[in-house]
Amino acid sequence: MPFDIRDFETLMALDDEDGDVFVGRSPAYPWGRVYGGQVVAQALRAATNTVPADRFVHSLHVYFIRGGDSDLPIRYAVERVRDGGSFSLRNVVASQSKATMMQMTASFQVDESATEADVQEGALRGGLPDPEALADASWGPILERRLVEMKDARAAYWMRIAGMRTLDPAMQACALAFASDDVPTEAANQSHPLRASFINTSSAYDSEFVGASLDHAIWFHRRGRYDEWVLHDFQGAGIAGARGLGVGRIFSREGVHLATVAQEILIRKRR
């Protein structure tokens, strides 16, 4: 049976094994398999546990290798690649029953925000409805979602992690990692020429197509609060070789560009 986990902080409470190895657990998800964003968030938490306290994640890159089983614990083995004067690099391998599920590389940096320039080019799009005015589109108790209607291979949601109590920046970064896997797939799927035939019947679309996240990247530009509403605004970049790409930016409600996310997904018509 899946583990009884209903809040984000419990999800991030990893058990320590010998060395730099940590164990996480999964709740049940509506689609059956472990949610990829959970694995990214737990892997980031495991890596953060091995990094000096003065360093904050600035980027991570993930390859998804196989789906996970919610009934089984997930083992996160961390490799300390390097600790330099300003940066630390970590590799994390996530596995179940000795089979690799995911590989992640994450880089951490000392805080240089007080001494270097801070320039934001992009802006939060105007005229968006407030999340309180939108219908609930959540699929579980941890991640709250409010759909913003978009066109032209775009997908946007207001999101926040429900019930977080801590303001620890490292935990807030894990919260972003958890939410970041949700919207890019939808944006990439909308580029498919047959998508319009199934736009209002997701179950029919799923019966016609095979889809899976292949790789995932996050660049953390500025620290943020993900227990508050933030906008995930993604654009599909087209489809080639049965692969689609979703690229998006994460904005605070005040318009601060917090992060950029890119994800490549498999979109293959069932044979």
pLDDT tens per residue across span 178-216: 999 999 988 888 877 776 454 444 555 667 777 789 999
Task: Give me the pLDDT at residue 225, please.
Answer: 96
Structure tokens at 189: 């799927």
- Asked if the model's pLDDT at residue 58 lies above 50, the reply is yes
Residues 230 and 159: their CA atoms lie apart, in Å, by: 5
Q: What is the mean pLDDT of residues 211-229?
A: 95
**Edge-to-edge strand order for the sheet containing 55-64?**
15-16, 21-24, 74-83, 87-96, 99-110, 55-64, 209-220, 257-269, 243-252, 230-240, 154-161, 143-148
Name residues whose C-beta falls within 8 Å of residue 150's C-beta, 6 or more positions apart in sequence. 156
| CA–CA separation, 180 and 83 (whole Å) | 27
**Residues 87-116: what's their mean pLDDT?**
96
The pair of structure tokens assigned to 242 is 């049965």
What is the average pLDDT across 4-17? 92
For 8-111+135-269, CATH number? 2.40.160.210
**pLDDT value, residue 201:** 47
Average pLDDT, the chain: 91
Per the model's pLDDT, the better-predicted residue between 27 and 205 turns out to be: 27
d(CA 192, CA 271) in angstroms, rounded, equals 16
The share of the chain scoring above pLDDT 90, in percent, equals 75
pLDDT at 198: 47
Q: What is the mean pLDDT of residues 90-103?
A: 96
Per-domain boundaries in the chain: 8-111+135-269
Tokens of 141: 């108790």
Whole-angstrom Cα distance, residue 165 to residue 70?
25
**3-state helix/strand/coil string of 94-115:** EEECCEEEEEEEEEEEECCCCC
d(CA 215, CA 60): 11
Note the pLDDT of residue 200: 46
Q: Which pLDDT tens digit goes with each residue over 234-259?
A: 999 988 998 999 999 999 999 999 99
Contact call for residues 244 and 267 (beta carbons, < 8 A): yes
d(CA 125, CA 194): 28
